Amino acid sequence: MKKIFPMIVFSCMTAVVLLICIYRSLPREDVAEKAPEVADATMAVDATPETDTTVEIDAMSETEAVQGKEVAGETEATQDETRRVALTFDDGPHPVYTVKLLDGLAERDVQATFFVIGENIPGNEEIIARMDQEGHLIGNHTYDHVKITDLSVEDACEQVEKTSALVKEITGKDTEYVRPPFGSWRKDLECSFEMIPVLWDVDPLDWTTCNVSDVVRRVLEAVEPDDIILLHDYYESSVDAALLIVDALTEQGYVFVTVDELILE
């Protein structure tokens, strides 16, 4: 018993010391572990309303602003960058193909510019009248398709004046827009009415082929906003191509105007 008693006392004391140590250590650990959580929670609460919400609101405003700008930009682009294009037809009127073209343009509510040859007008007066009535612009392509630069000033003026007189008899208007055959124009030409030479931007050389899709492809590959497209209403393939071009460009958002709208700006 003498040996056991001190062992029991020692064990009890050790146990007490251990218990004290455990007791001290436990609460400290709890506080130590919880304190940061509380601190974090406080920060989180603080952060949520002040930081996160603000950021969210700012972010929303920015998003809305960007979208607003984009929407505004799109609207401006639509208004400022209307894709306009002018179809022009030389060498008519043709008694069959020009009528077919006018029918097709009327169906699509599209206006074009016709540079007519004077000698093709007699017998086709109704076609000229119809062009005018349906809002097309009638221009001048000389009387018998001559190269202006090969002529004297007098002869050159006679070519355009004779054609203009025939048109004026039908429509009451002069043909102030002139497309010089072969694109050759002389600037010193002063005839009895004001003349504005009109060349072109896109020339698919439609008169060199009967292949409609070739003509369509050549135009669609080259065309850009505000371009003037050169075609001839004297060939059926050109007329068929023209109407397909109208449909394709309409789908691309192009609006068809007469050349005066592109030139007079």
CB 85 within 8 A of CB 201: no
In the numeric block, the tokens 């005839």 are attached to: 191
Nearest approach, Cβ of 86 to Ni ion (angstroms)?
Answer: 17
**Helices marked H in the chain:** 4-47, 53-80, 97-108, 125-133, 153-171, 212-222, 236-251, 259-263
Distance, CA of 164 to CA of 193 (rounded, Å): 9
Query: What residue type is assigned to position 163 of the chain?
Result: T
* Backbone region of residue 177 per phi and psi (left: phi > 0; alpha: psi in -120 to 50; beta: other values): beta
With respect to Ni ion, which residue has the nearer C-beta, 91 or 227? 91
Nearest approach, Cβ of 117 to Ni ion (angstroms)?
Answer: 7
With respect to Ni ion, which residue has the nearer C-beta, 23 or 182? 182
Question: Where on the chain is the footprint of Ni ion (CB under 5 A)?
Answer: 90-91, 181
Q: What residues are annotated to the active site?
A: 90, 232
Strand partners, 227: 85
With respect to Ni ion, which residue has the nearer C-beta, 234 or 256? 234
Nearest approach, Cβ of 196 to Ni ion (angstroms)?
Answer: 17
Name the closest residue to Ni ion (Cβ): 90
